[in-house]
Amino acid sequence: MSSTRLCIGVVAPLTGRLAPLGRPLAYVLRALAPRLRQVDNGGRRHEVAIAVRDSRSEPEAARQAVRELVTADRANLVLTLAGTRVLPAVADTCEQLGVPCLSTTFPWQAYVRARGADPAHRFRWTYHFAWGLDDIAAVFASLWERVEGRHAVGCLWNDDLQGTLLRDERYGFAPVTSARGHALVDLGPYREPADDFAAQVERMREHGVDVITSASTATDLALFHRQARRAGLRPRLITCSRWLTYPHTHTTPAPDVHAELGDARVATLVYWSPGHPYRSSLDGSTCADLAHAYRQDTGECWLQPLGLAHALVETAHHALATADDPTDRASVAGALAGARLDTIAGPLDWTSGPTPNTALVRLVGGQWHPGPQGPRLAVVANEGNPEVPLTGDLTPV
C-alpha cells in the first residue's frame, strides 16, 4: 500500500575547505539512491525524496541550509557530517526547529561541548554517532607504548575548541594517558593556521620530548615537523587525529607538505577501513566492496568518512522504517533514540551510549605508510577492536 511521501534532508560540505570530506557522503547518496526511493513501514510503502543542501563549509550557510530543508523541502530528518563549527550549527538549528538530526565524524565530547551543553544533557531532536576523546587517547597511548623506552609526550594543540577539549582535566587526554603512566607536556597553544612553531619547538627541546601528539591540520603539522627537524629534533613518533585521519595528499596540494609528512610517518586513529569486518544493512555490501566501488566510480582512494556516510544513510532508513509514524518528526526522533542496528561502520546502539543521544564507534590505531599510489593507511594496533585485522606494523622514525 502506498502512502505519504517522505524526505531525507542532507547538509553536506560540497564546496569550501571541507569539500574533500563531503564527497564520500555525496557518493553514498548517489550509490544508494535506488535503495532509498521507497521505505516500507508497517505494511505501508512511502516514497522517499533526498534533498541535499550545501553548507559551503560555513556555519551560517549550514544554518540556512537546515531552514530551507525544513521549510521548503519539508524534511522528516536531516543528516550531516564534518566541521568543528559547521556540524554543531546544523544540529543546533535542527534542535531549534524541531526536526530530527543525525550526525557523525566528531568526538562526542566536542559534539556536546560545542553546543554549550553538559555531557549528561539530553537533546530532544539531535543524535550522533562517533568516538570519544578518551577513545582517541587510549589508541594513541597504545601506540606510544610500542616505541622503545620511556617518553615525554609533547602535546601540539591549538587554542580553539579542539585544544581546549584535549586539555580538559575531566574529558581530555590526561585522565586516560596519566592512568597508563604517560607524562604529557603541553607545548603551548597556537592560532590556526600557524605561521611559526619556534616556541613549541623550544619547549620540545627543554622537556626532552621525543613523541608528539596533535590534532592539527596537515599544513600546520608539516610546518612544525620541518622546524623541529631543522632545530636538530626528530620525533620518534607523531600521533595526530582530525585532518591526519585522511591522506595528506587529499587535503592539501602542497608538495612540501606531502614530502614532510611522508617522512614523518604519522600515526592516527582508524574508525573505518576496507578491512573492517562489517556489512551494509541496506545492500549487504562489505567494507571492501564499498571501498572498491568508490575507487572504481570516482578514481579516488577511499576515505574513512565513506563508511560513516554509508552508516548515516543506513540509520536514516532504519529510523523511517521503524518509527511509529514516519511522517511525524517526533516519532522519527523516538526511533533514533531507540535505534540499535548493525551497519557497515559496525554495531551502533543509541540505548547504551556514553551520553544521551550518542552511539559509539570503536577505534583502532593506524599509521600512514608510503606506497606507490601515495600514503597508505595501515592498521597497526587493534586492542580497541580485535575484529579488525592488522595490515601493517608500527614503524617509529
- Check residue 152 and give its pLDDT: 92
The answer to whether residues 238 and 350 belong to one domain is no
Q: Are residues 351 and 370 in the same domain?
A: no
**Does residue 393 belong to any structural domain of this protein?**
no
- In this structure, the answer to whether residues 29 and 44 fall within a common structural domain is yes
Q: Give the angle subtended at the CA of 174 by the CAs of 350 and 361, to the nearest 5°.
A: 25
Predicted confidence band of residue 201 (pLDDT cuts 50, 70, 90): very high
Q: Is 254 left (phi over 0), alpha (psi -120 to 50) or beta?
A: beta
Q: How far apart are CA 379 and CA 19, in angstroms?
A: 26
Query: Domain limits at 306?
Result: 6-131+273-360
Residue with cell 573492517: 276
How many domains, in total, are found in the chain?
A: 2
- What would the pLDDT profile of 7-64 be if each residue is shown by its tens digit? 999 999 999 999 988 999 999 999 999 999 999 999 999 999 999 999 999 999 999 9
pTM exceeds 0.85? yes
Query: Residue 263 sits in a domain of what CATH number?
Result: 3.40.50.2300
**Does some domain include residue 391?**
no
| Domain co-membership, 74 together with 172 | no
Residue 397 lies in a domain: no
User: 377 and 354 in one domain?
Assistant: no
2: pLDDT strictly greater than 70: no
Residue 1 lies in a domain: no
248 falls within a domain = yes
* Confidence class for position 3, pLDDT limits 50, 70, 90: low
Cα–Cα distance, 231 to 247 (Å, whole number): 26
**Residue 388 maps to a domain:** no
- The verdict on residue 309 lying in a domain is yes
pLDDT tier at 271 (50, 70, 90 boundaries)? very high
| Same-domain check for residues 106 and 199 | no
Percent of the chain at pLDDT > 70 equals 99
Are 224 and 246 contained in the same domain?
yes
Query: What is the C-alpha to C-alpha distance for residues 244 and 41, in angstroms, rounded to an integer?
Result: 41
- Residue 245 is classified by DSSP as G
pLDDT at residue 1 tops 50: no
Same domain, 51 and 73: yes
Question: Is residue 317 assigned to a domain?
Answer: yes
The answer to whether the beta carbons of residues 239 and 176 sit under 8 Å apart is no
Q: Clarify whether residues 139 and 282 are in a common domain.
A: no
pLDDT tens string 315-363: 999 999 999 999 999 999 999 999 999 999 999 999 999 999 999 999 9
Residues 149, 24 share a domain: no
pLDDT-based confidence at residue 150 (cuts at 50, 70, 90): confident
Let me know whether 83 and 36 are in one domain.
Answer: yes
Q: What is the mean pLDDT of residues 74-81?
A: 98
Residue type, 119: P
- Cα 342 to its chain centre, rounded Å, is 18
232 and 369, same structural domain?
A: yes
**In the predicted model, what is the mean pLDDT of residues 270-281?**
98
